[in-house]
Amino acid sequence: PRQRIKKDEL
Amino acid sequence: MNLFRLVADLMHLVSIFILLLKMQKTRSVAGRCSRISFKTQALYATVFLTRYTDLFANFQSLYNTTMKVFFIASSLYIVFLMKFKFKATNDPRLDTFKAQYVVGGAAALALIVNYAFTVQEVLWTFSIYLEAVAILPQLFMLTKTGEAEVITTHYLFALGTYRGLYLVNWIYRYWTEYYVDWIVWIAGAVQTGLYCDFFYIYFTKVLKGAKFELP
């Protein structure tokens, strides 16, 4: 499954 | 948030405080060279400025926003200190890595390999690629002088540990939440790989009380 990149990391 | 990532972020903070301590210490010894690469620090400031363009648009948590603000502010502060306040301790003759090539390389790659071709995405991708190689001027300086002060090695150790723990964090997140981010993973693996040689000498020499010297 393809997941949207979350960008919750620093 | 998991423990690996939390400790990684804390190590990143520690590295910045070690650096500030080191600069304060160098200034107190007149005429001494800091052996901290200005180019590496300028690259880190560029990394944070281009990565956190979503600072106001993308709110994750108070932790996330606070850290972003701290990284931007501290990196700019360090660049300011090195450029103006502690200029005399900075020796450009030792800082000879051609940083423009890695900036150009990261920019070109970000334009070709990205998740979406928008200004913000390309800037974000550029920051990921640039961070992967931003330590090179510092490591290059180290190989040039052939030795390093203990506090500089602690700085590099904290930075390397922060990167290493991020690798563990990604493996953990993949299994627990099917988190996938190929661009960050590959750049992160490259970045951590750059510390291998350093880690080897740090463990075999510095931790045993010996001076950091290249063989």
With cut-offs at 50, 70 and 90, classify the pLDDT of residue B214: confident
Under an 8 A CB cutoff, do B64 and A8 touch? yes
B9 to chain A, any CB pair closer than 8 A? The answer is yes
B78, B84, B90, B94: CA torsion to nearest 10: 90
* Distance between CA atoms of residues B192 and B185, nearest Å: 10
- State which H helix or E strand residue B212 sits in: strand B212-213
Question: B75: which 2 tokens?
Answer: 């990196």
Whether pLDDT at A4 is above 80: no
Q: Output the CA–CA distances (angstroms, integers) from residue B69 to B44, B63, B80, B149, in the order listed.
A: 14, 10, 16, 30
Q: Which of A3, A9, A10 sits opposite B180 (nearest CB)?
A: A3
Average pLDDT (A4-10) is: 82
B100 Cβ contact partners less than 8 Å away, ≥ 6 residues apart: none
With cut-offs at 50, 70 and 90, classify the pLDDT of residue A1: very low
What sign does the dihedral B159-B16-B104-B126 (CA atoms) show?
positive
* Distance between CA atoms of residues B186 and B129, nearest Å: 9
Secondary structure class of B92 (helix, strand, coil): coil
What sign does the dihedral B10-B17-B202-B191 (CA atoms) show?
positive
**Block residue for tokens 């003759």:** B93
Return the amino acid letter for B112: I
Under an 8 A CB cutoff, do A7 and B64 touch? no
ipTM of the prediction: 0.83
pLDDT digits (tens, 9 = 90+) for B13-48: 999 999 999 988 888 776 678 889 999 999 999 999
Give the helix ranges, DSSP H, for chain B.
3-28, 38-51, 62-80, 99-112, 119-133, 136-145, 150-177, 182-193, 196-204
With cut-offs at 50, 70 and 90, classify the pLDDT of residue B71: very high
With cut-offs at 50, 70 and 90, classify the pLDDT of residue B114: very high
CB pairs under 8 A between A and B: 24
- State which H helix or E strand residue B147 sits in: strand B147-148
Q: Which of B64, B115, B124 sits opposite A10 (nearest CB)?
A: B64
